Amino acid sequence: MNLVLQGSLGYAAGTWAGLTLASPWQYWSLGLLGFFLLAAGAWDRRKGKALLQLAFLGCLFCAGGLQAGLRVPAARRMAPLQGRTVAMTGRVVPGSVVRTRQGGMAFLLDEERGRVRVFLQKASFPLQVGRVQVAGSFLPPEGFYNPGCQRPEERAAIQGEGGKLQSDGNHFQILTAVPSWQDRIWLWGEAFRRPLRQSMVPEESALLEGMLLGGSGQISPEVLRLFQRCGLSHLLSVSGSHVALLLGLLTGTASFLRIPRKAALPFLGLILAGYGVLCGLRASVCRAVILGLGTLWGKAGRRRAESTAFLGLAGILLLSWHPWWILDPGFQLSFSAALGLMTLRQPAAEGLEHFLPGLLARGLAVPISAQLLSLPFLVHHFHMLSLVSLLANLLLVPLLSFCLTGSTVGALLGMAGLDFLSRPVLAGVSCLLRFALWAGKWIAQLPGTQLVTGSPSPWLWPLYLLLVLGFLGKGWFLPRRERLRRWTLAAAGTALCLEMLLPRFRQQPFTAYFLDVGQGDCAVLVTPEREIILVDTGGLNGKFDPGERILVPFLRYLGAEKVDLVLLSHGHQDHAGGLAGLVRWLPVNELMITQEKGSKYVKNVLYDRKLRENVKIVYKIQTNQKIRRKKSILEIVEAPKTQNEGGEENENSAIVRVSCQGRSILFTGDAPAGTELAAAQKPIRSDVLKVAHHGSKTSSEAEFLTAAAPRLAVISAGRRNRFGHPHPETLDRLEQFGIPLARTDQEGAIKVIFDEWGPVWYSYRWQQDCF
């Protein structure tokens, strides 16, 4: 392995340690000094090459940890502003302006301390680029704390965001509309996009724009799901293939116009750097641009550039500029895939040629080598694998590459005013893209397209590395050590299978997870037999779907490939809005709903043919009904039949008691006091109470709390919600009864374990057990 690449791996490991371990900078400085002295001592020794290499790697490791430990994220720099009314001045990030349906506006403000997400309640004025001043209430970066999802602090640090600013729009001023050089590059990009939008339907133009310039904000959700199912999401992140395509077009054009090499290469380098700025300077973009510049440098000297050395150099440069990228899944996947292509493509092709024709072997070696090193990162971050990824990459990537080339040529012709040439080219691209999407839908519908792995063990990394090295005959596994290679393959493969399979058969106590879904309810129950029972699915206004963005990743984290039962307390969006997002990805054996008037969130599933196929049984629940599972019982304590005249839909909320092995949880939905008092006349004593209506003062009366007598109360509410939940009256009553309280708005997702010591709960926000 190239020494620069080895050094970059050491630097990356040090950067990760510096960000995740609370080590004082003095320790890193002492380590750096120690390894430097070791290198100086080994420099004059004839046999000190290995020691010198170790000292070199140690220096880079400590240097990475030192620079990462000294860097302060934007959110921490802006922490003193939280909760205050402040005025901020900065540049509008090009392409970030989004208008809301209510007449408001949201955009990113590039301020000197970091980026701020600005929300204006009213904004009728035009805005694209420029320097602005806005005043409003400053809040910290927000998100959801759930297992299987990235923590909001990490996401904000990766994106360089320090918080959000909420303004009414009256305290907003455009200081200057003169575009900066970054704005001008973005405006050129808009001119590039315009021919695509004029010649294609929005779905096709949005997809091509995302593949050409990065980003998926405008791509339809159906196409995004298709790319995820087929393992093609990497095409929506500008990477080496995009830069290679651009370099090929540029060098071909320069050769056609007979521009001298020395004059063309600097110009091509500037275009390449501008392309990186246009695509947003994300981690994968910067990595690809640096490698592209290395290729140009090699051409300038008429020699081949060392690709792995430039990859290592790119890693060191990028992590020195933005160390939090080491925590970004996109950064990890981009570098691991590039490293796999550079180092494993030839060995993989040679191995495949023993079984397949040469052309097919070389074609398969490209996606295989890219995925060999990125696979552990995919499992670690997404807890699943696409089993049709190789097939989709082999069949669809060539088609989509033709689409990228044709759309680039067509857009450039349109920018030049040659519409009579641009439109036929883009029409042909449109036909080819439709065929590619049709083929992708056919592949995605194949049975068993996804493998849910669950949260992997730390042993995944060394075992998988041994398996790959043994399979390719690298490292210790030289040809003369064939017996060692075979035994290692057998041992590592067996251990890896056991690590993946044993957790699925291991006994566990009855466990409940109250997920952090904002102002909504969503609870996941896991029985000792590993049955998955859901009570409500959450739901939020806007494009964010907690069913697809929170619930499905969490169930994959658990290793669940299906849901045994979903019970909806009632049909409000904050309880049933995530149902469709769940059903799109995972089958549901049984769906239980109340007898209220039809909820549109339930109808979206039952009346959609594709979604309905993923739900086997649907039935309505009734009061006093008991549903017996293997070792658990669901008791429907109260289930109002119809909505009272003039009443609210909350009055249709069911109260359900779930018991398992002598432990029980009482779910109340948004039930008002009247429904709770009716339930209080029945045996509802439970270990855990999910407090009704997010802790509203209309519920949790003293008589009901006396009947339930919980040992723990859980309130699911959104942070700083506009309703003021939970209300002080409810909190006071819980305190008067001496009931311990756990809140998702303060603790994030809450895990409750029922064992011999009773309900013990765990906060995923603060990463600690609570008793």
Give the per-residue pLDDT at 647. 40
Give the per-residue pLDDT at 687. 93
Quick check: 44 pLDDT over 70? no
**Residue with the larger pLDDT of the pair 242 and 534:** 534
**Angle subtended at Cα 715 by Cα 711 and Cα 717, rounded to the nearest 5 degrees:** 170
Quick check: 771 pLDDT over 60? no
Residue with tokens 């609570």: 770
User: Which of 231, 154, 256, 144 lies closest to 514 in space, CA to CA?
Assistant: 144
Least confident of 80-84, 419-423, 464-468: 464-468
Domain 75-178: CATH superfamily, name plus number: Nucleic acid-binding proteins (2.40.50.140)
Give the per-residue pLDDT at 644. 47
Rounded to the nearest 10 degrees, how much is the dihedral formed by the CA atoms of 539, 545, 547, 550? -110
User: Which of 710, 644, 638, 721 lies closest to 675 in space, CA to CA?
Assistant: 638
Give the per-residue pLDDT at 642. 63
- The residue ranges of every structural domain in the chain are 3-71, 75-178, 460-505, 510-770
Give the per-residue pLDDT at 596. 78
User: Which of 736, 731, 737 lies closest to 709 in space, CA to CA?
Assistant: 737
Give the per-residue pLDDT at 318. 92
Question: What's the CATH code, domain 510-770?
Answer: 3.60.15.10
Report residue 14's pLDDT band, with 50, 70 and 90 as the boundaries. very high
For residues 427 and 434, give the distance between their C-alpha atoms in angstroms, rounded to a whole number. 11
Residue with tokens 């009055």: 651
CB 569 within 8 A of CB 561: no
Note the pLDDT tens digit of each residue in 554-594: 999 998 989 999 999 998 999 999 999 999 999 999 999 98
Give the per-residue pLDDT at 579. 93
Quick check: 474 pLDDT over 80? no
For residues 753 and 740, give the distance between their C-alpha atoms in angstroms, rounded to a whole number. 15
Give the per-residue pLDDT at 600. 85
The residues facing 393 across adjacent strands are none
**Cβ burial, residue 257 (10 Å; 0-12/13-18/19+):** exposed
Note the pLDDT tens digit of each residue in 666-695: 999 999 988 999 999 999 999 999 999 999
Note the pLDDT tens digit of each residue in 317-353: 999 999 999 999 988 988 888 888 888 888 888 878 8
3-class DSSP assignment, residue 738? coil
Give the per-residue pLDDT at 640. 81
Report residue 45's pLDDT band, with 50, 70 and 90 as the boundaries. low
Rounded mean pLDDT of 380-408? Answer: 87
Give the per-residue pLDDT at 487. 81
Give the per-residue pLDDT at 325. 93
Give the per-residue pLDDT at 309. 84
Quick check: 151 pLDDT over 60? yes
Rounded mean pLDDT of 89-109? Answer: 87
For residues 323 and 72, give the distance between their C-alpha atoms in angstroms, rounded to a whole number. 10
Note the pLDDT tens digit of each residue in 703-734: 999 999 999 999 999 998 888 999 999 999 99
Could you tell me what percent of the chain has a pLDDT over 90? 34
Rounded mean pLDDT of 470-498? Answer: 75
Rounded mean pLDDT of 732-750? Answer: 93
Rounded mean pLDDT of 208-234? Answer: 83
Quick check: 209 pLDDT over 90? no
